[in-house]
Chains A and B, each alone.
Chain A
Amino acid sequence: MSWLDICRETRFVLHKKSVALVLLVGFLLALFSVWTGSVEVAQQHATIERMQKADELDQAGVTKRYDEAGLLAYYTFHLTYAPPSSLAFAAAGVRDVYPWKHRIRMLAIEGQIHESDTQNPELAMVGRIDFTFVIAVIAPLLLILLLHDLRASERAAGRLDFLSITARTGYSLWPLRAVVVVLTLWLALVLPFIAGAIFNGVSAGLILSVIFIALVYILLWSLLCYWVARFSFSAPVLASFLIGFWLLTTFIIPAVANVAIDKGFHGPQGGDILMTQREAVNDAWDIPIETTMQAFVVSHPEWADKTQVKSLFEWKWYYAFQQLGDEAAKPLAQAYQQTAEDKYRAAGWVAWLSPATLLQRTLTDWAHTDAKAAWRYEQKVRDFHAQLRHFYYPLLFSDDKYHAEVLDARPVFKP
């Protein structure tokens, strides 16, 4: 195999209108996915920026309006968010399934987190046209179109023997032609990605990793197509076999697994957590204040001698039963998390039967747009909320008079 052979087959492949059309479709789809992904990421950044400004204005207004820590804690919203990573434009992942921004208050946190519920979202990604979808789902289809009739079309045209006899060696025709097709398609797909990655500030190492894994994935499908194309069946038969395999591994296995995983792993829904927490909070209005405060000091013994409530309503009592609401919902929240993690792990095993899903999991992992990233963000929200409690409780429970200056020490969410 020489450089001349490579040039010849490249010229030949690009000269064929059908091949050029498929490559163009691949390029345009990749370009579209990169463009829409970049626009989506830019919109998310703009949303965060807009919300940060609105949050600052809102907090300033509340601070000016109220001079009591309890009221301030009640009316002040705090923005929490998970900004998209630089690679998120290429792998949107579950960011439209799991929330990535909240405006939280000092009220019970679990209800604020679980206002929406999700079911095994890590398998619900098929269908969005991001770069990951183009590589994982569309690229195999384009490869099938390009390679299934590598020999069958020549056989049907009566050219197969002539080509085989004329070729200088066994390697200078079919393998070379396939390699040229595959590499050209890979280039058509990754060039828009590289441009988008540079625009979005992705590190060189990550760019190389993505284009490498895309190459490995495309080569795997190419080997399958090449192997199948060797059989002496007609092109439609070969295409049917390959498309059937693509359909099975890309859609049917994940869909069936999704149902099986949902049936196999049972846990509370987000709505259960929300209801449990709200019921605990609502019930607190009807039970004796002392009962609430005694339960509260179990987890906060440092305020044991400050639990006396002298009037019908005091903020420290109000926030104490908010915390108890969270504690009531905690076992459910932990079970919810455990179930979600079990489902995610099970989906990981299934992914070994579905290369497309495996690739999507890998890329969304790198882009921090998978379920694990969403859970990390949720935990950050809980941690931030705990910091808020840590900040406000001394203001609520101690006898010190409130000064606006203390707000300088109020925690600010850092993503």
Chain B
Amino acid sequence: MQELVISASNLCVNVKEKQILKNVSFSARKGEVMALLGGNGAGKSTTIKTFLGLMTPSSGSVSLAGVNVHQQPDVVRQKVAYLPESVMLYGHLTAIENIKYFLSLSGKQKTAGDIAEALQRVALQEASWNSALAGYSKGMRQKTAIALALLREAPILFLDEPTSGLDPVAIDEFNRLVKQLAAQGSTIFMVTHDVYGACHVADRIGLLHNGEIVGMFDAPEHGNIDSEVVHKAFTAGARNE
């Protein structure tokens, strides 16, 4: 049996007086892709921020590769790469300069060849590698950030709405890449609105509604995901806003 890499146990998160996450428990094993689906305000971003150590649980715990996120944040940082929904790398730096900067920040050193290979792998046009990111489209910035995540070789990837704003071709490319990384042993946790995309790439899908997990489906069951549950999760979330 594969080791547990991502684990949330009875996780509760309060912001001021409001309870955002209520007794959320789930886990993902090495090489798995887990997607958390939910409407706006369901608690997806809070979940991801808690795993990244940016928010503190009121009760319960989260661990990555067996390490408590809030007790050993520096250890956890080495194991995690994060792709935010809106990738805002430095606009005054080129793609290569950005990658070099962030790699150095994470303590990694890669050759120019490695960087070029990663940029080719995410299909970023070579002509733009040395242009300032200020002129990039959202998709191009996303690709640069994915290249960075690849180069960091982090065993755990957190993706926040990774396909939001990408064109269908770019989404296909991205999904292919996610599957490839998982096959190589990376554990991937993504939060998304995209039910179709999640079904396409995820080994496990959780449905989050009002801060609670209302459904958990493994890959063979994707076809059996209760559309009513999905519908309820999304519409209730929207109503709550």
**Chain A positions near chain B (C-beta within 8 angstroms):** 4-5, 8, 12, 15-17, 157-159, 161-170, 172-173
Q: In the complex, which residues 163-181 of chain B have their Cβ closer than 8 Å to any Cβ of chain A? A: none
Contacting pair B52 A161 (CB below 8 A)? yes
* B9 CB–A CB distance under 8 Å: no
Is there an interface contact between A158 and B105, defined as CB atoms closer than 8 Å? no
Q: A170's contact among B54, B74, B109, by CB below 8 Å, is which?
A: B74
Residues of A near B90 (CB, < 8 A) are 159
What is the chain B residue whose CB lies nearest that of A164?
B54
Taking a contact as CB atoms under 8 Å apart, the answer to whether B88 and A166 are in contact is: no
Contact surface of B with A, Cβ cutoff 8 Å? 49, 52-54, 73-74, 77-78, 80-82, 84, 86-90, 92-93, 101-102, 104-107, 109, 152
Q: By the criterion CB–CB under 8 Å, are B84 and A158 in contact?
A: yes
Chain A residue at minimum C-beta to C-beta distance from B109: A4
Identify 30 residue pairs between A and B in the complex whose beta-carbon atoms are under 8 Å apart, listed by A's number. Answer: A4-B104, A5-B104, A8-B105, A15-B93, A17-B92, A157-B88, A158-B88, A159-B89, A161-B49, A161-B54, A161-B82, A161-B84, A162-B87, A162-B88, A163-B105, A165-B54, A166-B81, A166-B82, A166-B102, A166-B152, A168-B77, A168-B78, A168-B105, A168-B106, A168-B107, A169-B74, A169-B77, A170-B73, A172-B105, A173-B105
Q: Which residues does chain B contribute within 8 Å of A172, judged by CB atoms?
A: 105, 107
In the bound complex, how far is the Cα of B52 from the Cα of A377, in angstroms? 67
Contacting pair A167 B77 (CB below 8 A): yes
In the bound complex, CA of A356 to CA of B102 (Å)? 38
Which residues of the other chain, A, contact B49 by a CB distance below 8 angstroms?
Answer: 161
Chief secondary structure at chain A's binding surface: helix
- In the bound complex, what is the Cα–Cα distance between A4 and B103 (angstroms)? 11
**What 9 A-B pairs have minimum CB-CB distances, sorted nearest first?**
A168-B107, A158-B88, A8-B104, A165-B82, A159-B88, A169-B74, A157-B88, A166-B106, A165-B52
Please name all residues of chain A whose beta carbon is closer than 8 Å to the beta carbon of B105 when the two chains form the complex. Answer: 5, 8, 163, 166-168, 172-173
Q: In the complex the two chains form, what is the Cα distance from A15 to B92 in whole Å?
A: 8
Q: Which residue of B lies closest to A4 (CB)?
A: B104
A5 to B108, CA, bound (A): 11
Once bound together, how far apart are the Cα atoms of A162 and B93, in whole Å? 16
**Residues of B contacting A15 in the complex (Cβ-Cβ under 8 angstroms):** 92-93
- Determine how close the nearest CB of chain B comes to the CB of A134; give it in whole angstroms: 28
Residues of B within 8 A of A166 (CB): 77, 81-82, 102, 105-106, 152
Q: A161-B49, A165-B54, A169-B77 are in contact. List 5 more A-B contacts (CB 8 A).
A: A8-B101, A12-B101, A159-B90, A162-B87, A166-B82
How far apart sit A411 and B205, CA to CA, in the bound complex (Å)?
A: 101
- The answer for the CA separation of A15 and B101 in the assembled complex, in Å, is 12
B77: chain A residues at CB < 8 Å are 165-169
Find the B residue at minimum CB distance from A162: B84
Expressed in whole angstroms, the minimum distance between the Cβ of A177 and any Cβ of chain B is 10
Which chain A residues lie closer than 8 Å to B86 at the CB level? 158
What's the minimum C-beta distance from A165 to chain B, rounded to whole angstroms? 4
B contact residues around A17 at 8 Å (CB)? 92
- In angstroms, Cα B89 to Cα A163, docked, is 9
**Which residues from chain B contact A165 at a C-beta distance below 8 Å?**
52-54, 77, 80, 82
Write out the residue numbers on chain B whose beta carbons fall within 8 Å of the beta carbon of A162. 82, 84, 87-88
**A233–B107 alpha-carbon span in the complex (Å):** 30
Distance between A327 CB and nearest chain B CB, rounded to angstroms: 74
CA distance A173 to B90 in the complex (A): 15
Closest-CB distance, B51 to chain A (whole angstroms): 10
Shortest Cβ distance from residue A179 to the other chain B in the assembled complex, whole angstroms: 15
Chain B residues with Cβ below 8 Å from A173 are 105
CB distance from A409 to the nearest CB of B (A): 75
Q: Quick one: closest B residue to A2, CB to CB?
A: B107
A164 neighbours in B (Cβ, 8 Å): 52, 54
Complexed CA–CA distance, A15 and B98 (Å): 12
CA of A16 to CA of B89, assembled, Å: 14
Q: Which of A15, A166, A169 has the most CB of B within 10 A?
A: A166
In the bound assembly, the distance between CA atoms of A167 and B105 in angstroms comes to 5
| Complex: A55 Cα to B49 Cα, angstroms | 81
Choice from A16, A159, A163 contacting B92 with Cβ under 8 Å: A16
Chain B contacts for A12, CB-based, 8 A? 101
In the complex, how many angstroms separate the beta carbon of B184 from the nearest chain A beta carbon? Answer: 21
A167 touching B84 by the CB < 8 A rule? no
Bound together, the chains give a CA A4 to CA B100 distance in angstroms of: 12
**Closest B residue, CB atoms, query A157:** B88
For residue B89, which residues in chain A have a CB less than 8 angstroms away from its CB?
159
How far apart sit A173 and B77, CA to CA, in the bound complex (Å)?
Answer: 13
Chain A residues with Cβ under 8 A from B106's Cβ?
Answer: 166-168
Q: How far is the CA of A16 from the CA of B92 in the complex (A)?
A: 8
In whole angstroms, how far apart are the Cα atoms of A12 and B92 in the complex?
10
* Minimum Cβ distance to chain A for residue B70 (Å): 13
